[in-house]
Structures are given as C-alpha cells and as structure tokens.
C-alpha cells in the first residue's frame, strides 16, 4: 500500500469542518479589521528565500525543498514561510502606491524538511497577517492585538505574550559585536550551526536549542551581555510605545531578552504567543517588525510588521466541530424522481442527497437516519398522488406535503 509521505497528513472529512471554521473565523476577524486576503504560489524562486529569510537560518540551510527546473536553469523552492512571498507580491503588483496601511492576510500550506514531531510536520499550514507602510508602534500593537483576538476567537485564553526589541541595524551591530566578543573564548565548544551563526548573524545563536550552547549562554558573563539594554533611544522609545498600547488594551506580556525569532529579517519588535497546553513546543504564534525586507527584495523602503501561526497546532487546541447533517435525504426506489427532487432541493439552498444504488427502502431509511435531519419518501403512493412524505428523523414526526 502507498501511504502519505512522512511528515504529511491527510485532512479527513471528519476534521475538515473544524478547519473550515478556523478559516471562517480568520476571514471574519481580519476582514473586519480591514485586512484583504491574498493567495500567493506555493513555490517561488529560491533566491527569494535566501535573500529574504536569510542564509544563516536553519530554514534556508537545512529545511527547504528546492528543485532545479527548465534544464537546471531555474531553482525553485516550496515556500517554507509566506512573508517573503507576500512581500514579493507587494512589490510586483505596485501595492506601495496604495494608501497605507496595506493590510493583508493569508492561509495556506508551507513546506519544511525537518524531523516530524508533535506540532511539526513537513507540510503544514499557516495563517498570517502582514501590515505594510506604517513605521509607528501602532502597527506593532495592531499585529499583536489581531493575533491575540484570533486566538481568543478560537477559544484559547490561557496565553502569554513574550516580547522583545532587536533594535535597528545600527544599534544592533554594536550588540552583535559585544556578543561575539564575549562568546569568542567558547567558540570551539559551540555547535556547528552556532559557529556559522557566529560569523553571519550572532543574534541567531540565542535561538539555538542545543543543550551545550544553552549552558554556555547561561553563564553569567554572557547573560550580562545578552540581557543588556542595548537599543538606541529611538528604538527604545518605539518599544515603550508598543508596551503602552498593549497596556491600554489589557494584553498581558512579558519581556524576554532571549527572544530573537528564527528569521533574519526581523528588526525592533519581535513577539511570540504561547499556550501552556502545547507543552515543550509552547509557541503557537510568532511575528515581528521587518522594516528592511521590502527594500532588500527590490522594493522601495517600506516599514512592515506581521505574524503567522501554525494551523495544525491551533487545531490541536480548539474544540472540534461536528459535521452538520444534511437537511434532506431522498428515499425512493424511483431513481429519476429522486434525482429530480434532490436537484430542486439543492437549487433552493438545502443540503440534500439521495441513494444512488436503489437499495431496499429500509436500508435507505437507515442511512438517512445517520446523515440527515429529514427523509423525503417517494414511493408509488407519493408518485400517484403527487405529494411527498417527510419524516423528521430527530422526532419521528411524519407529514405529507406537496411543497418542500
């Protein structure tokens, strides 16, 4: 038997109703907040992710599904995340000419080659929001508010918002230099990934999950640098504004100086929202500001902020929704009459079906009782009398009628 590939999962009919409800809730909340839905291709030029996500990240170095096409002339990659793709679309379609803010949201599959585990698959789905054109802290607050409200809309209240500021490229460079200086005596003890990050992007080392590296980062002389309030006055003022807006809206947060997120494009505000229900893999949602990404990918300088969440993780936390039963199931040995009535019911907006096998009356009624609220019976008597017998399968009540 051929089975689904490791790290992928079929979304079965009994699960899809809950998935559809998640999409419906996202569409309702984000549309009400003036966000427009966007759908980008599931594959892009590999260069987009190398430049956008960053070649010091695990995503680019280890996890991308990359293929050569067109006689090895073009390299394409299944999208491992969607911010880079949305930015590409923003630039390509001239959205910078629109009046800011430009607020976009999406839902779709992403692909990363990593070891499958609880909450992590090789094909997974994300819902995200991207806000372009606003440099003020109001946009950061809006992103965090929308993220929190969406989780609450899905019945998740036991949330913790972790918050940090990575500063701007100018003040962050001094911070990087200090981290490199204090870690240089331990360079040989760091994992191979961190040795690469040490050269390319020292901040990314703080996101390492290697136990030996974590032990080194927790040494006092290193923690004193990591926990240092390094950001410049302008970045500090921006961060204070973000916190002020969150305080006003009652969103609880904690400052986490170790929070750097797993992507290179972030500047200033970064955040994660966690749920204790997820255990070790506690982050259900993450995001931040990426003011330099649009320009880096060939657009005009444009401030931006956004977030994304894993739908599979969300699905595992929320109350499941049972599939709603059909309004009518047509029970009849006369297939032509059954087809005709079923079509009319559907055209009137009812959910309806019929037995396509012409089975015995009792078998049809048995099936109807499992999947429908009402059964419409068309036997010889009904055909000759030009009426229908409608049985309420929940109460057992039965009536005769000429109209449905």
pLDDT in tens, 197-236: 888 778 778 778 788 888 888 887 777 777 677 889 999 9
- What is the pLDDT, as a whole number, of residue 79? 96
Residue-level pLDDT at 227: 67
The pLDDT score that the predictor gives to residue 72 is: 65
Task: Give the residue ranges of DSSP H helices in 263-348.
Answer: 293-296, 311-317, 335-347
Helix or strand holding residue 28 (H, E): helix 13-32
Q: Mean pLDDT, the chain, as a whole number? A: 90
Is pLDDT of 262 > 80? no
Phi and psi, residue 327, nearest 5°:
-70, -45
Return the higher-pLDDT residue of 118 and 62.
Answer: 62
pLDDT number for residue 278: 63
Query: To the nearest whole percent, how much of the chain has pLDDT over 90?
Result: 65
Burial string for 207-244 (b: 16+ CB within 10 Å, else e) reads bbeeeebeebbeeeebeebbeeebbeeebeebbebbbe
Minimal CA–CA distance to 264: which of 123, 78, 56, 98? 56
Residue 223: predicted pLDDT: 78
pLDDT digits (tens, 9 = 90+) for 241-256: 999 999 999 998 999 8
More confident residue, 166 or 275: 166
- The mean-pLDDT minimum among 6-15, 46-55, 125-134, 388-397 falls in 46-55
Give the span between the Cα atoms of 172 and 176, in whole angstroms: 6
What value does the mean pLDDT take over residues 112-116? Answer: 84
- pLDDT for 297: 94
CB burial readout 30-46, b (16+ within 10 A) else e: beebebeebebeebbeb
Instruction: Give the alpha-carbon dihedral of 104, 110, 116, 120, to 10 degrees.
Output: 10
- Tell me the pLDDT tens digit for each residue of 46-102: 999 988 787 666 677 778 889 888 766 789 999 999 999 999 999 999 999 999 999
pLDDT at 279 (0 to 100): 59
Q: Cα–Cα distance between 162 and 233 in angstroms, integer? A: 22
Cβ atoms of 111 and 65 within 8 Å: the answer is: yes
- Could you give the domains of the chain? 13-168+231-317 (3.30.930.10), 326-401 (3.40.50.800)
Q: What crossing angle do the helices spanning 137-153 and 13-32 adopt, rounded to 10°? A: 150
**Sheet hosting strand 267-275, strand order edge to edge:** 36-37, 102-111, 123-132, 304-310, 283-289, 267-275, 159-165, 253-255
pLDDT per residue as tens digits for the range 329-343: 999 999 999 999 999
Give the model's confidence band at 178: pLDDT under 50 very low, under 70 low, under 90 confident, else very high: confident
- Provide mean pLDDT across the span 12-17: 94
pLDDT number for residue 197? 83
Note the pTM of the prediction, 2 decimals. Answer: 0.88
> Is it the case that residue 304 has pLDDT exceeding 70?
yes
């Amino acid at each position: 038997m051929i089975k689904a590939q490791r790290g992928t999962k079929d979304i079965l009919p009994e699960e899809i109703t809950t998935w559809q409800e998640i999409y419906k809730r996202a569409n309702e909340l984000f549309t009400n907040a003036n966000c427009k839905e966007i759908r980008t291709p599931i594959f892009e030029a590999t260069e987009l992710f190398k430049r956008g996500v960053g070649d010091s990240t695990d995503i680019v170095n280890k996890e991308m599904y990359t293929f050569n096409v067109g006689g090895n002339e073009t390299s394409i990659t299944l999208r491992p995340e969607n911010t880079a793709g949305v930015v590409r679309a923003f630039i390509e379609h001239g959205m910078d000419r629109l009046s800011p803010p430009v607020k976009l949201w999406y839902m779709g599959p992403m692909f990363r080659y990593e070891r499958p585990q609880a909450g992590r698959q090789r094909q997974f789905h994300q819902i995200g929001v991207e806000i372009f054109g606003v440099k003020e802290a109001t946009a950061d607050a809006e992103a965090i508010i929308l993220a929190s409200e969406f989780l609450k809309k899905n019945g998740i209240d036991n949330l913790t918002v972790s918050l940090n500021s990575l500063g701007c490229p100018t003040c962050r460079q001094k911070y990087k230099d200090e981290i490199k200086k204090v870690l240089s005596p331990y360079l040989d003890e760091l994992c191979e990934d961190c040795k690469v990050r040490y050269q390319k992007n020292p901040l990314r080392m703080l996101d390492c999950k290697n136990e030996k590296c974590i032990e080194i980062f927790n040494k006092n002389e290193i923690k004193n640098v990591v926990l240092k309030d390094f950001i410049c006055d302008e970045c500090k003022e921006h961060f204070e504004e973000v916190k002020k807006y969150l305080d006003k809206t009652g969103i609880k947060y904690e400052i986490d100086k170790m929070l750097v997120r797993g992507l290179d494009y972030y500047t200033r505000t970064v955040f994660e929202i966690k749920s204790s229900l997820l255990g070790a893999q506690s982050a259900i949602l993450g995001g931040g500001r990426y003011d330099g990404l649009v320009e880096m990918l060939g657009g005009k300088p444009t401030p931006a902020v956004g977030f994304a969440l894993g739908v599979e993780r969300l699905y595992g936390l929320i109350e499941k929704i049972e599939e709603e039963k059909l309004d009518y199931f047509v029970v009849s040995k006369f297939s032509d009459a059954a087809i005709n009535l079923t079509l009319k019911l559907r055209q009137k907006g009812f959910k309806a079906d019929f037995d396509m096998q012409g089975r015995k009356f009792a078998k049809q009624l048995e099936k109807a009782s499992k999947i429908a609220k009402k059964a419409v019976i068309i036997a010889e008597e009904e055909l000759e009398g030009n009426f229908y017998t409608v049985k309420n399968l929940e109460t057992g009540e039965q009536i005769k009628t000429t109209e449905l």
